[in-house]
Each structure stands twice: as structure tokens, then as C-alpha cells.
Amino acid sequence: MKTKIEVQFQERNIDVKDTEKLVKENLKAAGVKMNTIVNLDIYYQPEEGDIYYVATTKDGKELSNEEAIKNRRINYISINAKKLNSNYKGKDHLINIAMMNLQMILLSGFYFSFLGILNEIQAGNMCLTSRQSFYILL
């Protein structure tokens, strides 16, 4: 049986496997071999994205991190959401990001439609009066 545990906190989804992977990478970087660890307790503070751990080895040593490991994925998402939403005052960053994406899609669609009309005019497939061409240029 495979289990997947995901923590939801303030519109964020945190996969526990990602958190565990970050802790193990941190321990390996410190020179600890995974086969020497008996217990690994992980403490996650979702608001800040901070991860702390206490690892107990076979010989009874306790290893822990004094400085928090940052869940970079969560911080990256929230930092980008803040940058993208600097013009928006709403609390729900995901809705604002979706709205900005929709605006970009609509603007790019309008832009390429406009270019298509200009190409048709240049090709001679479309004739416009001076008043119609004035409105297109606006």
C-alpha cells in the first residue's frame, strides 16, 4: 500500500514526501548515512514554510537542525504570487493569478486577431472605409 499525505494550509498544498526528501537531503549533505538513522521526527511550520527535524542514530546520538530548512517550493510559489499580485488587494492569490493569466490570454488573443486583420487588409482581401480603419487603429 502506498500512502500520500498532503497538508493544506492557507491555499497551499504541501506534499509530505517533498518535506521528507528535503530533510533527508539536508542530513546527507551533513554527512549522515540514512542506514544509521533509527528515528526521524520532522516538524513542519506551514505558515513560514520552516522545517525542523530530530534524527536518532543507532548509537543513540540525536541530530537536529538549529536553523530551519525552508521549503523552497512553497516559498517560491508564495513569493511569485506576491510579485504577481502586487496590483491586487485580494487575499486569494490563486484566483488573482488565474485572473491575470486570463487577462494575458485575452490580450494576446486580441493582439493576434488585430494582426490578422492588418494582414488581410495588406493582402487586399479586406476593404475598409477611412472611418472603419480609424476605429481599428484605436
69 and 6 within one domain: yes
15 and 41 within one domain: yes
Q: How far apart are CA 15 and CA 115, in angstroms?
A: 44
107 and 72 within one domain: no
* pLDDT above 70 coverage of the chain, percent: 48
pTM over 0.85: no
Q: For residue 134, name the pLDDT band (cuts at 50, 70, 90).
A: very low
Domains of the chain: total: 2
19 and 39 within one domain: yes
53 and 9 within one domain: yes
User: In this structure, what C-alpha cell is assigned to residue 71?
Assistant: 521549503
136 and 77 within one domain: no
* % helix, strand, coil for the chain, step of 5: 50, 20, 30
Digit-coded pLDDT (tens) for 68-119: 887 655 444 444 445 544 554 555 555 565 566 656 665 555 555 555 655 6
101 and 42 within one domain: no
77 and 92 within one domain: no
136 and 72 within one domain: no
pLDDT of residue 95: 57
* pLDDT above 90 coverage of the chain, percent: 7
Q: How far apart are CA 137 and CA 122, in angstroms?
A: 14
* SS3 assignment, position 86: coil
Range of the domain at 131: 87-138
27 and 76 within one domain: yes
100 and 60 within one domain: no
60 and 14 within one domain: yes
Among 26-40, 85-99, 107-121, 122-136, top mean pLDDT goes to 26-40
Last residue of a domain, one of 38, 56, 84: 84
36 pLDDT exceeds 80? yes
H-helix or E-strand spanning residue 76: helix 72-84
Single out the residue of 9, 13, 11, 6 nearest to residue 97, CA to CA.
11
